[in-house]
A and B are shown apart, each in its own frame.
Chain A
Amino acid sequence: MVLFVSDFMGVKCDTELCCYCGGCVGVCPKLALELEETKIAIDNEKCINCRACVLICPVGAMEMLE
């Protein structure tokens, strides 16, 4: 079976930078993100690699996985 590179992608959050504001959550079209008290819960199975969360993040904590 051929898997495309994009099948493996998704996002990660740098918890040292994150201010837990939920900005990324609101722009994620797939509800792949949720704000917990001290982390962003990420469900990369839902992620479609649209980068909205990366762009909106005020502190640059969100990154696409390589």
Chain B
Amino acid sequence: MQKYDVAIVGAGPGGLMAAWKLAEKGVSVICFDKKQEIGVPVRCAEGLGGAAFERLGIEPDPAWATWEIKGAALYSPSGKKIEVTSEETMGVVLERRIFEKWLARKAANAGAKIFVKNHVRGVERKDKGVELTVSQHGTENKFFANIVIAADGVDSIIARKMGINTTGKLIDVDSGFQYEMAGIDFEGSDRIHLYFGNKIAPRGYCWIFPKGEHEANVGIGIGGTIQETAREYLDKWIASKEGLKKGSIIHVNSGAIPVGGFLEDMTADNLVVVGDAAHQVNPVHGGGIALAMQAAQIAAGVIAEAVEKKEYSHDALKGYNKLWYDAKGNSLKKILKIRHMLEEMDDKDFESLVDKITSEDVMKLARGELATGVKVTAKLVTAPGLVKKMLKHLK
């Protein structure tokens, strides 16, 4: 049986970044993915904020950072626009399939072993480590690792098999659907466009993430409890937009987005959970690529130390939680409160707020500044009942 210090399940941004950083630290690491090709299929709008690059210590490469974004435009149900252009809204729309391959190359060149078309079927704790049963191109083989990283995305089966309940509650999960489109017309290809309103996207928004002058990811995320499907909502919305309706769809994808329900403890004996599997997603905009990678870097540091000490217990790994919450988790919790606050508003409330809110307020809300939440809520003076409900979420 092949033995490794660390086995990673899932070669998405989280798993690959963990593989790369662990390999760099000299840890023996293997990474399995059930897919046939790294980076495919893409289930993502491919937006990545510019600040992420510095945080992660990677340089945007023109091979995958193909379209530059300089800001965001937010639209109210009646079409009123708020434009936000700040350092934080700058970023790129990626070619994610190329980006993930790039990550995989980095990881492999640093010494990680990566396997595709390898489905991890079983994980069983044994001899102070974990025995993995992996279906490799149809043949079942066993591997042994001291530590498993569950980076298996929204499915999040591995953590659950190893005793951490990561099941997404519907109220905390968004249902997403998207077309990559070409031959469309829209204004402002240098910014992302977000359209709000309970009629078009209940508890979520429709988006246009440009990939060129006439190409974009056009998608939607709605609350998981909504009866009608995300696809129905998106089709209706596109049909109402002349510039979109005329275009062609060159890629269809769907996905669930774990926007809430954070886990206090993402570790157990021999186990660390990262990325979507651990619900590490921004509750307001649903972005999780950068967060998965940041969590992976933090996890790699903790795991490398554990391996060095030959300690694989929960106690040796749980330091990852605090580091994650200090770095990102605590601010995501605040952003979740803002989300809950915003969800109380109907289209009419939203409309009256749009007139009173500045783009700076929007940025502060997106950052999870609760004081701004209170300030903004106070502007809804004509609806005292609503204000009370909204403020409750900000406690």
Contacts and interface: CB of A to CB of B under 8 A. Distances in A.
Interface of A: 19-29, 31, 34-37, 52, 55-60
Looking at chain B's contact residues, the main secondary structure is: mixed
A19 B229 CA distance: 13
Interface of B: 34-36, 41, 43, 119, 153-157, 160-161, 166-170, 173, 175-177, 224-227, 229-232, 252-256, 258
Most buried by A among B154, B176, B227: B154
Contact of B167 (A20, A27, A35): A27
Contacts of A36: 34, 119
B154 A22 contact: yes
A56 to B, nearest CB: 5
A43 B175 CA distance: 23
B157 A56 contact: no
Give the top 7 A-B pairs by smallest Cβ distance, nearest first.
A23-B256, A58-B254, A58-B230, A26-B154, A19-B254, A58-B177, A25-B155
Given A26-B155, A27-B167, A56 B34 contact: no
A8 to B, nearest CB: 24
Given A29-B167, A58-B231, 9 more contacts: A19-B252, A23-B173, A23-B176, A23-B254, A37-B35, A37-B36, A56-B168, A56-B175, A59-B229
B177 to A, nearest CB: 4
B13 to A, nearest CB: 16
A23 to B, nearest CB: 3
Contacts of B232: 60
A58 B176 contact: yes
A26 B154 CA distance: 5
B254 to A, nearest CB: 4
Nearest to B252: A19
A24 B175 CA distance: 10
A58 B154 contact: no
Given A34-B157, A56-B170, A22 B256 contact: yes
A19 B231 CA distance: 11
Contact of A23 (B35, B169, B226, B255): B255
Nearest to B174: A56
Nearest to B229: A60
A56 B167 contact: no
B154 A59 contact: no
The majority secondary structure among interface residues of chain A is loop
Given A21-B254, A37-B36, A56-B170, A26 B156 contact: yes
Contacts of A31: 157, 160-161
Contacts of B168: 26-27, 56
A59 B177 contact: yes
A58 B155 CA distance: 15
Contacts of B225: 55
Contacts of A28: 167
A52 B256 CA distance: 12
Which residue among A26, A57, A59 has the maximum number of chain B CB atoms within 10 Å of its CB?
A: A26
Contact of B170 (A19, A22, A27): A27
A16 to B, nearest CB: 13
Contacts of A27: 167-170, 173, 224, 256
B62 to A, nearest CB: 29
Nearest to A17: B231
Contact of B157 (A25, A29, A37, A55): A25
B154 A23 contact: yes
B155 A56 contact: no
A21 B170 contact: no
A23 B175 contact: yes
A26 B43 CA distance: 15
Nearest to B233: A58
Contacts of B176: 23, 58
B155 A35 contact: yes
